C-alpha cells in the first residue's frame, strides 16, 4: 500500500546547486527534478483517492473470500467424492488416499464408501466413519485406523499388516481371510466379527478388545485372545 506524505517545498535550482562540482551537476539536476515531481504528486488528490480504492479492493476481496468459503469447501468435497467414485473397481490408489483423508479431516461421513481392491497403504483415517464400507482386498498396511467405525464393513482379504486398529469399531464386519499380522487391535470392538481363515497368530496386541460372539474363529484364537487380555463383554 502506498503511503502519501506531504513533502516540504524543495529549494530553487540556484539554492540547490550551490557550489557543487560542475561534473556532477547533471546528476544533481536529476535529483532536484525528482524532488519537485514528488512534491507536486504529494499534493495530487487523485493519488490519495487511488490509494483508498486499492485498500478498499483488498477489503472487498477478503470479504468475498470468507463469504465463499462454504462454496469452496463443497466444491472440494465434490471433487474428492468424484475421485473415489471414478476409481471404483480399479486397483492402485487413484488419488483415493488423499480424497478419503481430506473428507475425513473435514468430518464428512464415509458411510458405505466402496474402495474394494484399492492400494491405501499408510492412509490416515483415525476416527473416520466407514460404516458398511466395502474395503475388500484393500492394502491397508501401516495405516492409522484408530477409533475408526468399520461396523458391518466388508473387509475380506484386506491386508491390515502393522495397521493401528486400536479402539476400532468392527462389530459385525467380515474379516474373513484378512491379514492382521502385527496389527494393533487393543480396545477394538470385535463382537460378531467373521474371522474365518483370518491371519491372526502375529497380532501385535489385542488387550481390551471385545471378542464376544466372534464367528468362525480359527482354532485357538479365542483362548489366545483371552490369554492376551481380550474380553467377552456384553457391550463396548
> 30-50 pLDDT, tens per residue?
777 777 677 666 666 665 666
Q: How far is CA 191 from CA 123, 135, 215, 233, in A?
A: 25, 19, 9, 9
CATH architecture for segment(s) 70-236: 3 Solenoid (2.160)
Q: What is the pLDDT of residues 181-203, one digit of tens each?
A: 999 999 999 999 999 999 999 99
H-type alpha helices, the chain: 13-17, 25-41, 45-67, 69-86, 96-105, 221-227
Task: Determine what percent of the chain is predicted with pLDDT higher than 90.
Answer: 63
SS3 content of the chain, % helix, strand, coil (to 5): 35, 10, 55
pLDDT in tens, 152-170: 999 999 999 999 999 999 9
- Nearest one of 182, 187, 155, 154 to 169, comparing CA atoms: 187
pLDDT at 44: 64
Query: Which of 14-28, 66-80, 91-105, 217-231 has the lowest average pLDDT?
Result: 14-28
Give pLDDT, residue 223: 96
- How many Cα atoms are found within 13 Å in the side-chain-facing hemisphere of 78? 6
pLDDT number for residue 4: 53
CA gap 214, 221 in Å, rounded: 10
Q: What is the pLDDT of residue 236?
A: 47
Domain regions of the chain by residue span: 20-67, 70-236
Whole-angstrom Cα distance, residue 205 to residue 30?
81
pLDDT at 92 exceeding the cut of 90: no
pLDDT at 47: 59
Return all residues near 8 (Cβ < 8 A) that are at least 6 apart: 39
Looking at residue 200, its pLDDT comes to: 97
End-to-end Cα, the chain, rounded Å: 60
pLDDT at site 211: 97
Amino acid at each position: 500500500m502506498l503511503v502519501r506524505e506531504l513533502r516540504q517545498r524543495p529549494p530553487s535550482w540556484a539554492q540547490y546547486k550551490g557550489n557543487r562540482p560542475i561534473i556532477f551537476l547533471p546528476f544533481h539536476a536529476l535529483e532536484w527534478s525528482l524532488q519537485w515531481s514528488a512534491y507536486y504528486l504529494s499534493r495530487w488528490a487523485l493519488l490519495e483517492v487511488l490509494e483508498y480504492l486499492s485498500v478498499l479492493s483488498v477489503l472487498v476481496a477478503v470479504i468475498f473470500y470468507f463469504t465463499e468459503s462454504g462454496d469452496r469447501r463443497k466444491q472440494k468435497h465434490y471433487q474428492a467424492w468424484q475421485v473415489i467414485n471414478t476409481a471404483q473397481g480399479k486397483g492402485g490408489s487413484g488419488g483415493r488416499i488423499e480424497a478419503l483423508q481430506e473428507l475425513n479431516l473435514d468430518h464428512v461421513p464415509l458411510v458405505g464408501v466402496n474402495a474394494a481392491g484399492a492400494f491405501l497403504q499408510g492412509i490416515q483415517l483415525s476416527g473416520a466413519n466407514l460404516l458398511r464400507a466395502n474395503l475388500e482386498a484393500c492394502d491397508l498396511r501401516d495405516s492409522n485406523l484408530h477409533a475408526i467405525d468399520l461396523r458391518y464393513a466388508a473387509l475380506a482379504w484386506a491386508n491390515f499388516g502393522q495397521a493401528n486398529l486400536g479402539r476400532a469399531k468392527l462389530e459385525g464386519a467380515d474379516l474373513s481371510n484378512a491379514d492382521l499380522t502385527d496389527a494393533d487391535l487393543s480396545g477394538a470392538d470385535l463382537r460378531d466379527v467373521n474371522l474365518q481363515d483370518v491371519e491372526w497368530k502375529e497380532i501385535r496386541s489385542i488387550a481390551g478388545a471385545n471378542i464376544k460372539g466372534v464367528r468362525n474363529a480359527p482354532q485357538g484364537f479365542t483362548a489366545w485372545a483371552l490369554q492376551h487380555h481380550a474380553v467377552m463383554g456384553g457391550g463396548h
